[in-house]
Amino acid sequence: MRIGDRDFRSIWPGEDGDCVEIIDQTKLPHALEIARLTRLDDAAKAIADMWVRGAPLIGATAAYGMALALRSDPSDAALGHAYDTLHATRPTAINLRWALDRVRQEVGRLPVSDRAQAAWTLAARMCDEDAATNRQIGENGLALIEAIAREKSPGEPVNVLTHCNAGWLATVDWGTATAPIYLAHDKGIAIHVYVDETRPRNQGAGLTAFELGNHGVPHTLVVDNAGGHLMQHGMVDLCIVGSDRTTARGDVCNKIGTYLKALAARDNGVPFYAALPVSTVDWTVRDGVAEIPIEQRGGEEVSHVVGMSDHGVVERVRIAPETTPVANYAFDVTPARLVSGLITERGVCEASEAGLAALFPELARKQA
């Protein structure tokens, strides 16, 4: 997608072919810095420290991490070590395991001499697939926005609320929750987005607002706790969020605070959708609240904030007493009963076992 007058993906192979390049998202929105990943530990650090984040992008980075590892040592032992190292970076987004399993399965069966190139080619293909998948999610979600737009007066925008960043920066391109928004905007449909700042790492304020601003999509940044008020006053027509892991029965694990938005949406009759590729469905899990591991990150993400001072210096400042204990839960689970539907690359379905099985029978059957 666009940043200024240039088109970007969030991750791409370096020109000299010996590295993979990423946008270091910890520097946005204040600086656009490109980081070069040249070995396994670079990829692991980029995921763990959230230089890259978002389920699909975590998966894509992990795939390239495996490829970088196999370049230095294509042995079975090295493949296993790379898998374990990358898998240990973050526990919640299922795309990480999905991507690692796919690389290990497709490349591990090859002769050792073929593995490095095969892994590199596969990682690139997975990135292209992700971009195409998200574009299709956009087409399928666009229909929801168009249906609302038809009920509006000419020029009156469809108001969408989104949480965290499920944009092109959370994927290889297009995003999941934002893909329908971009397509609606590009089609000339009047649309406006309420962007949850999304404490504590502020992916909404720093990433979603950055994306929408660069694409020219009207948007308003709001504090996380404003969503209920906006919905009570009829200011939100539709909620679209991303997912880090959706269960076989349609429970949606996403950034902390998503569940509260879903509760407010239900109480106010606002449609609440999750947009996700099928690679984000964990078919082995049904009860998301009971079974999905919720990442707990360092307390400093809550007790401090990072921003640019009035003097143009990016600084980190403390906002809580030094003696205050901190809990930093990074995700929560929205039960399927609160989800109006799932927007996938194969269409929009009910957040249920039957809904997912109808769109992905071959995958649902495997788990039966």
Ligand X SMILES: CSC[C@H]1O[C@H](OP(=O)(O)O)[C@H](O)[C@@H]1O
Size of interface with ligand X, in residues (CB under 6 A): 17
Between 185 and 201, whose beta carbon lies closer to ligand X?
201
* Minimum CB distance to ligand X, residue 176 (Å): 4
In the chain, what's the furthest Cα-to-Cα distance? Answer: 63
The distance of Cα 347 from the centroid of its chain, to the nearest Å, equals 19
* Minimum CB distance to ligand X, residue 111 (Å): 35
Among 56, 200, 227, 335, binds ligand X (CB under 6 A): 56
Q: Does the footprint of ligand X cover residue 343 (CB under 6 A)?
A: no
Between 87 and 152, whose beta carbon lies closer to ligand X?
87
Between 48 and 358, whose beta carbon lies closer to ligand X?
48
Measured distance CA(110)–CA(239) in Å, rounded: 45
Quick one: which of 59, 183, 78, 178 has its CA closest to 125? 59
Q: Does the footprint of ligand X cover residue 37 (CB under 6 A)?
A: no
Element (H, E) at 69: helix 55-72
Apex 312 CA angle, 307 and 315, nearest 5: 35
List C-alpha distances in Å: 79 to 42, 67, 82, 85, 275. Answer: 16, 9, 5, 10, 32
173 is catalytic: no
Measured distance CA(351)–CA(229) in Å, rounded: 26
Residues 239-278 that bind ligand X (CB under 6 A): 241-242, 244, 254-255
Specify the stretch interacting with ligand X by CB under 6 A; choose among 72-80, 153-161, 236-244, 321-329: 236-244
Q: Does the footprint of ligand X cover residue 203 (CB under 6 A)?
A: yes
Specify the stretch interacting with ligand X by CB under 6 A; choose among 10-18, 52-60, 99-107, 109-117: 52-60
Measured distance CA(272)–CA(161) in Å, rounded: 9
Q: Does the footprint of ligand X cover residue 202 (CB under 6 A)?
A: no
What residue type is 155 in one-letter code? G
Among 54, 204, 250, 335, binds ligand X (CB under 6 A): 54
Q: Classify the phi-psi angles of 317: left when phi > 0, otherwise alpha if psi is within -120 to 50, otherwise beta.
A: beta
Torsion angle, CA of 239/240/244/248, rounded to 10 degrees?
90
Structure tokens, 264: 């407010």
Q: Does the footprint of ligand X cover residue 303 (CB under 6 A)?
A: no
Q: Does the footprint of ligand X cover residue 55 (CB under 6 A)?
A: yes
Between 44 and 166, whose beta carbon lies closer to ligand X?
166
* Minimum CB distance to ligand X, residue 355 (Å): 19
Structure tokens, 200: 């504590």
Write the binding mask 168 to 187 for ligand X: x where contact by CB under 6 A, - elsewhere. Answer: --xx----x-----------
* Minimum CB distance to ligand X, residue 266 (Å): 19
Element (H, E) at 349: strand 347-349
Of the listed 244, 251, 282, 332, which one is catalytic?
244
Between 114 and 128, whose beta carbon lies closer to ligand X?
128
Q: Is 220 exposed, middle or buried (0-12, 13-18, 19+ CB in 10 A)?
A: middle
Binding site members for substrate:
53-55, 90, 203, 254-255
Measured distance CA(186)–CA(248) in Å, rounded: 33
Specify the stretch interacting with ligand X by CB under 6 A; choose among 2-10, 26-34, 109-117, 164-172: 164-172
Between 133 and 254, whose beta carbon lies closer to ligand X?
254
Place of tokens 């009035």: 310
Among 148, 330, 336, 348, binds ligand X (CB under 6 A): 330
Measured distance CA(361)–CA(183) in Å, rounded: 28
Quick one: which of 317, 302, 299, 298 has its CA closest to 201? 302
Q: Does the footprint of ligand X cover residue 164 (CB under 6 A)?
A: yes
Instruction: List active site positions.
Output: 244
Contacts to ligand X by CB under 6 A: 53-56, 164-166, 170-171, 176, 203, 241-242, 244, 254-255, 330
